[in-house]
Amino acid sequence: MIICLDIGNTNIKYAVYDGQELAISFRIATEVNKTSDEYGGQLINMLRTNGVDPESIKGGIIASVVPQLDYTLDRMCRTYLNIKPMMLAPGLKTGMNMKVDDAKEVGADRVVNNVSAIQKYGAPLIIIDFGTATTFNAIDEKGQFIGGSIAPGIKGSLTSLVNGTAKLPRVEIERPEHIIGKNTVTNMQSGIFYGFAGLVEYIVKGMKREMKCEGVKVVATGGFSDTIASELKCIDIVDKLLTLDGLKYLYYLNEKEMR
């Protein structure tokens, strides 16, 4: 078995694969002040609760957009799983051709999503990740990453709205029945939900126009992907495991060279 860790700004996503098959997946909150021992104890408990023997895990890979946690989670894997995890960083083979100004600026999660989506769905593609930020990646017909767009995340936008006003309450992010809300809660839900739906639709339309290629598939992932996709015809596929499946692919791609 192998373990894949996707360290994001809001959550750390874990997946354990038995060969190519997903055994378990779960997520915990990202906390930069937590120690490797605290993360390790939490991980061991989650593995055993889900019927996975920690000693059965023989390898691992980490993608991170939180540099403060890179050493912590690496140490956790070494101490509690007795493995030396791969770290998605320059030098790790991805097979991805990056046609952007500076490939080093591209977040690890975006690289993994690109690789995963190409392997699973082919090219050309637009990949949307509804995470802490909302990212759009454009993959041309040759399978090259040609750039994208970054917008605020849905949850962060709602938090900013609530924190920046004196009387607006914290609400659930869900699709209201009508765009014209009849109370404060449905007004806020309408603005967030339909506002982001409009943002996604406009950016996807513009990207397809600039890509100038036929048959572009749009793949959505991330926490709110299914919520927003329910309103949009421009999203073809929702894949909540896109990033973790990509890490699994990259682990096996690099396994022999890392021995």
Active site residues: 109
CB 227 within 8 A of CB 175: yes
Rounded Cα distance between 134 and 120, Å, is 21
| Residue type (1 letter), 215 | G
Exposure of 21 by Cβ count < 10 A (0-12 exposed, 13-18 middle, 19+ buried)? exposed
The CA–CA distances, whole Å, from 82 to 40, 59, 71, 75, 240 equal 11, 9, 15, 10, 29
Nearest Cα neighbor of 144 from 192, 173, 111 is: 111
Strands of the chain (E only): list them.
Answer: 2-7, 11-18, 21-29, 59-64, 86-87, 97-98, 125-130, 133-139, 144-152, 217-222, 237-238
